[in-house]
Each structure stands twice: as structure tokens, then as C-alpha cells.
Structure 1
Amino acid sequence: MKRFGSSRLQLLGSAIFSEVGQWKRAAEAAGHDIIDLGIGSPDRPPSERVMESLASAARNPANYGYPTSEGTLAFRSAVARWYDFRFGVKLDPELEVTTLMGSQDGLAHLAMAIADPGDIAIVPDPGYPIYSASLVLAGVTPYLLPLRAENGFLPEFAEIPERTAASAKFILLNYPSNPLSAVADFGFYEELVDFAKRHGMLIVHDAAYSEMAYDGFRPRSVLEVPGAKEIAVEFHSLSKSFNMAGCRLAFLVGNKEAVGALRTLKSNIDYGVFAAVQEAGIAALDDQMAGSGWEVASVYERRRNIVVDGLREVGWNVPKPKATMFLWAPIPPGWTSRQISREILLSVGVVVIPGDAFGQQGQGFVRIALVQEEERLAEAVRRIGRFLHDRGVGASS
């Protein structure tokens, strides 16, 4: 009997995510009330204006034909206006912007569009799982770039072998970072652009969390660096910043050759995002540009403070990140990431994700998603505190 499943499927995804699902089912069967701080899916809806725009556009019969794979010119023009407003970067909506069904859609397909099987790409470790999965799909060889706490989870470019840097087709980075919650300043982007230009590689920057920053920090775009559009593209998503995760709307901007390559590939795969969703996206971007008061950062900043301050009080010293909806927490001594995640879930019903789900360098950490209301987060902290107390676990360094 022939097997109906390709060998590359064995290289996709993380077994840890499947294990976490099994632990969760076991905890539910044991009667636990589950507080899920695992998957980073927003728990609130978008603004009323965005929902009204979506509802109105959905009632328009003209929106029920096939959409164009690159997105409507109206949405791409709104993206260009937003980029100018937010970063001071000028974009040609015709050539330097393409619409995506979520940033994961673009991240999954970009390597196939810009690289050939056997090419090398530099990707972060730890990193969001689709980064490596996309290379498997494209037959591209990964060079895993270690990101370490002692360097603020920023890469050391000097550690990359010269031969690897010279042959790499692109380097993919993500700031503010999922899962690390690390941030980068403008000086880092200048260094990154210089490195990429010297080695003739494309920069692929995933900036999906640029609007979720705290304590006065304002994330920058790599495209703000003079000349960056010659060698860089950047992903953005409306999923997290505007609570539109279920709408599946994002975009890629920057170098027109790379944007065009992804657009060409996508035109052979699908017909793009429902036009009504793009109308809602225009409303979301216009809201921010108009200063309507709609923003999610303050919500997650309060949640961050509740969880970080609470965990510190119960003996778990967790860094306070400047951005994203995640905490990247170093685990107490004597545990592995998988062990402590499993025991917390089975003992007190709180889901966190083992850090090694995101790469070998993630061992020794767990990711905590701030995707519950404040009362539930406070309850999660109390439960984790009870777990630590019962096991005599001390604070991590």
C-alpha cells in the first residue's frame, strides 16, 4: 500500500505543540478550569467602526466576484499612506505593496518565490515556526542564527561564517519578536542593512508587532534606513494590532522585485482576500492615522504589568518586555521547558508554551501569551504561585 503523505511533512511543525494539546485534554479531563496562555490569538474584537465597515462591505453585491491576488488598489494605497504616516517611508502602492491572507500566508510562500532549492537562508533560533517550515516547503537550506539573552536576543552578525553570508539568499528577522518579545533600535537596522548590502542578500523583516509597544518605546521600520528598499521587504499584519486575526489580512512592502515575485507566485495559488475584509482594513488603518483613540498597546501593557509584577511577587523573576503580547520567561532551575510547562498545566490548569517549540535556543524558557482579561490573568498568576510554592521552586536568575 502506497503512503499518501510526503516526507517533507515529517519536517513541518513542532511535536511540542501536539504534546501541549494532549496535556490540555488531560487537564480538562481531570476537571481543571483551563486558562489558556498558549496561542497568541487576540481575545477582543476590532473597533466598532471596523466591524461596521466589514458588515457594510459584505452587503455590497459587487464584492462577491474573485478578488485580485495582489489586493485592491484602495487597500494598497491605504497601506502606503499608513507607512508614510507611521514611519515616514514612501511606497508605490502599484509596485511596492501586496496584500496577503495574514502574514503567515506571505511568510509561508516567500522563500518559494525568491529562492531556489538548495539556496541558503538565515533564520533566527528561537523563531516563529513558519520561518523554518517555509524553507522546508521551498527546499531551501536554513542557517540557524542563535539569539541569546546576553545580547538582548539580537543577532551577532560576526558569528555568521563568511561563506554562509556570501551565499545566503536572504536573512529573516523579527522585531518586536515573537516569541522573544525582544526589540531593536534604529542603530541595529542600520547595521543590518549594511551587513545585507555587503553580502548581496535580501532582508526579510517580520514587523507584525510594531504597534504593540510599551513604556514610550516606538518600534522603527527597517525601511526607514536610507537605501533599505534596495535590499529589504517588511511584513505587517492587522491581526494583532487591530484585533483582526480572523479576517486574515496583512501585507508585504518594500523591494519591488521581491514583492513582485511573491505577487506572481500568489497569483498562481489563490485569488486573494475578500474585498469586504480589505474595506475593513482600510477603516482600521484610517482610524489610527486619524488619531481616533483606537489602539491595543495600552490593553496589553496593563496585562503585562499584572502578570510580570505578579509572577515576581510569587518568586518567578520574569523580564518586563517593551513590546508584543508575549512574555519570554526564563524558567526556574532544575526544570526543562517541556517539564515545567506540562506540570503547570496538569497541576493548576494554566497553558504556557515550552520555549523549545521555537528552536533549540528556546530551551530554558517558556512563552506566556497575554490573551485573557485581567481577572483571568491574575488568577493564572495565583495558580502558578501555588504551583511554585508546592514544589519549593525558587526564583530564576
Structure 2
Amino acid sequence: MIAQANRLDHVEEYYFSTKLKEVRALQDSGQPIINLGVGSPDLQPPPQVMTALHQALLNPSAHQYQPYRGTNDFRKAIAEFYKNFYNVGLNHETEILPLMGSKEGITHISMAFLNEGDEVLVPNPGYPTYAAVSRLVGASTVLYDLKEETGWLPDFEELEKRDLSKVKLMWVNYPNMPTGAVAKKELFEKLIAFGKKHSILIVNDNPYSFILNEEPESILKYSSDLKGIMELNSLSKSFNMSGWRIGMLCGSEKNINSVLKVKTNMDSGMFFPLQAGAAMALRLPQEWFREQNKIYMRRKEEIRKLATALECSFSEDQAGMFLWCKVPEGNTSEGFVEHLLKEYHIFAAPGFIFGSQGEGYIRFSLCASEENIIKACNRLTA
């Protein structure tokens, strides 16, 4: 019997990996489950992207190994995208690294910068992968609480009271998942100053900035010196390309090269047609986002009706593809989700999976058709 590595002792299988097995089993048994739990876009990628993908398949070198840094055209497209939509100038040769999804980037960044015994500031609530990967590489997680009463933003006064001497990296995520909170210039400037003061690398995970958000922002916009900040971004949500597994990391040349040392030992480059399709997506005009957001807004209105019927409360100004709701008094997030699943065949994500500050909340996804969301509402009164 071969024992698993000690690093797995404090890491659980990802919640949705296990819970969705149960949901699929219920569906296979004939139960009409409406899945409002996962943020996997059900809409199609832009048609121009599909055309570019198909055409790239005919390129004579399409099926060979590709550059570890990604194709020159893809990196140029990323630089153009950041300039056009965030007003951030990046050197496509040195300050951009394409990724096989931004989730890959979380692991690569952690491996590139964290040693055993280092500490990592992780948002609570927040994306569970930040903490899980930190533990996998032997670092210790230090949770910083995000609270509804302070707009789900970091409390810098509380952070300054801590012993930060071992903290090397801080994960931030705005627009925030799961809460939908949006960051403005003031927060990014505070984060940059905080990181510089304490020699902490600030990494903003930024995949939701174009979904139901009028003013997309990048932390990179607020500093001419990228040495202490990096940003992950992704095509998964904004362009309905989650299954393509395409993202990007932006930062200083030195930091990008550190991550590249990890990446070049983990893969052999991304499939050329995927990069060609992604480059086309990044060059689409603003109209693409406007049309997508019309669909998401209609869905959000129906999700709000569902949440109201369930006596859940929520803020109106959330960005991203979810609605973060407080469950009725006297309920736990897990209990409320199980009630929805068993009584109404509706699946939502319980807030506790995002950390202790998520207890008492649930998250509804907008990645379901308007028809299915209305159907879910109707089940409550049937």
C-alpha cells in the first residue's frame, strides 16, 4: 500500500468535483435538477472565434509544439486588449504569459514564489483554490475577512495589526467571487501601497471584470512599477470559453520569468488553434460585452425573483455572473442548499465552501437559460 504524500493531508477534493457527482446521479435517476450552482457559461463563444479556430487547424504547423511563452500574435492580442479595455500598456514580449486557464496560474505563481513556512493572505470568503494550492506547496494560509458591512473589501487597519513578517503573497479578486463586490481606484492604490510597505506580492485574479460591470478595472493601471503586483485574467467567463482553458498572467519581466521557469517544466505549449481563436476573441469590439450583458441582466432579474421568493436578501450592485444572497434567519448555507435540492430540485452553491465568512449565504449562478430560471421560480409555488 503506497501512502499519499503528506501535502494532501490538509487538502480536500474540490467541492464541485464531489457535489456535482451527486447532482448528476440525481439527474440520471430522472430527477429534473436545475443547476444554478456552477459558473460555467452555457452561452456560445463568439462566431468569429470559432471561425478563427477552424482556419487555424489548417496551418501547416498547427499540430506541432508551440512556444512556451505562447504565440507572438496571442501575446500581442493580450497587450492590445489590456490597452483598449483597461488603459494599461504592457510589453507583449516580456510582461505577458499565456496560461492554460488562470487556475493553472494560481499553482504556477505559488510554486514560483512560495517556500515552506511562507505565509499567504487569502480572502475569506474567496476562491477555495487559493488556500488549497498554498497548502500544497507547503505555505501557511492567513485568512483576511471580507464582510458585508464593509462592502466585502479588505480591512487594512486589521491587516496592519497582524504580524506580516512571514507573508510573501496576497490574493485579491475583484470583481469579487463569490460576493460580486467591485473595486475602485482607491482600493487598488491601497493594495499596491500595502504590498510595497510589507514586501508582499499582490496578485489580482480578474476574470469577471466585463460581466455586468460598467467600469472594468485592472490593478496594473494604478502603478507604473509592476515589480510588486501581478494580474491573472481569463477568457473563460467573458467569452464563454471555459472549456478551452485559456488565460493569461501579466506582471514585470522578472516575475513573469520566475513563473515561466515553473511553466516550462509543466507543459509544452498551448494548442495553436486555441491561441488563434483566443487572439480573435480579445480583438472583438465592446459590442460583444454589451450583447452578452443584456442576456445576463435578464437572467439576473429572474434570479432576483427566485431569491426574493425564497426570502433571501441581496445587494443590488453586484458584478459578475452570480448573485450572492443571505439565507433567511435560522438557516445554515448547507442546510438551505440541501432543502432547495431535495424539495425543489434546484442546486445552488452554499457559501460555507468559500470560507467561514461565507456561512449564512448562498450563490446562484447566471449560467442557466432564462427559461430554466423561470422554471425554478415556478417550482416554489407549484
Identity of aligned residues (%): 35
- CA–CA separation in structure 1 for the residues paired with 2:36 and 2:9: 27
**Quick check: 1:222–1:228 contact (8 Å CA) kept in 2?**
no
**Quick check: 1:14–1:357 contact (8 Å CA) kept in 2?**
no
Question: In the alignment, residue 341 of structure 2 is paired with which amino acid?
Answer: L
1:33 paired with 2:32, answer yes
Partner of 1:375: 371
Question: In the alignment, residue 176 of structure 2 is paired with which amino acid?
Answer: S
Aligned counterpart in structure 2 of residue 297 of structure 1, from 293, 315, 319: 293
Partner of 1:320: 316
Q: 1:28 offset after TM fit, Å?
A: 3.6
- CA–CA separation in structure 2 for the residues paired with 1:377 and 1:246: 23
Describe the superposition over 1:199-243 as per-residue Cα deviations: whole angstroms up to 9, x where unpaired: 1211100011111124xx313111111335231110110011001
Question: In the alignment, residue 343 of structure 2 is paired with which amino acid?
Answer: S
Give the match's secondary structure for 1:63.
coil
1:307 paired with 2:306, answer no
**Quick check: 2:179–2:318 contact (8 Å CA) kept in 1?**
no
Describe the superposition over 1:333-372 as per-residue Cα deviations: whole angstroms up to 9, x where unpaired: 1111111111110111111111111111111011111111
- CA–CA separation in structure 2 for the residues paired with 1:81 and 1:18: 35
Q: Map 1:152-191; keep pairs closer than 5 Å.
A: 152-162=151-161, 164-191=163-190
Residues 1:362 and 1:316: Cα distance change in structure 2 (over 3 Å)? closer
**Quick check: 1:193–1:228 contact (8 Å CA) kept in 2?**
no
Partner of 1:67: 66
- CA–CA separation in structure 1 for the residues paired with 2:69 and 2:223: 26
Q: 1:322 offset after TM fit, Å?
A: 3.1
Give the match's secondary structure for 2:42.
coil
Partner of 2:2: 2
1:222 paired with 2:219, answer yes
Describe the superposition over 1:17-48 as per-residue Cα deviations: whole angstroms up to 9, x where unpaired: 46634652564476420101111100011011
1:288 paired with 2:271, answer no
- CA–CA separation in structure 2 for the residues paired with 1:19 and 1:263: 32
Identify which range, 133-142 or 220-229, moves more after superposition.
Answer: 220-229
- CA–CA separation in structure 2 for the residues paired with 1:12 and 1:71: 31
Give the match's secondary structure for 1:239.
coil
**Quick check: 1:321–1:327 contact (8 Å CA) kept in 2?**
no
**Quick check: 1:184–1:219 contact (8 Å CA) kept in 2?**
no
Partner of 1:353: 349
Q: 1:16 offset after TM fit, Å?
A: 4.8
1:114 paired with 2:113, answer yes
- CA–CA separation in structure 2 for the residues paired with 1:105 and 1:161: 30
Aligned length: 382
Give the alignment's TM-score, normalised by structure 2. Answer: 0.94
Give the match's secondary structure for 1:234.
strand
Identify which range, 233-242 or 297-306, moves more after superposition.
Answer: 297-306
Partner of 1:86: 85
- CA–CA separation in structure 1 for the residues paired with 2:40 and 2:152: 23
Aligned counterpart in structure 1 of residue 240 of structure 2, from 226, 240, 243: 243
Question: In the alignment, residue 285 of structure 1 is paired with which amino acid?
Answer: L
- CA–CA separation in structure 2 for the residues paired with 1:327 and 1:11: 30
Give the alignment's TM-score, normalised by structure 1. Answer: 0.90
Describe the superposition over 1:113-152 as per-residue Cα deviations: whole angstroms up to 9, x where unpaired: 1121111111101111111111012111111111111111
**Quick check: 2:211–2:289 contact (8 Å CA) kept in 1?**
no
- CA–CA separation in structure 2 for the residues paired with 1:115 and 1:7: 18
Give the match's secondary structure for 2:121.
strand
**Quick check: 2:94–2:256 contact (8 Å CA) kept in 1?**
yes
Unaligned runs of 5+ in 2: none
- CA–CA separation in structure 1 for the residues paired with 2:110 and 2:353: 22
Q: Is the helix fraction higher in 1 or 2?
A: 1
Give the match's secondary structure for 1:376.
helix
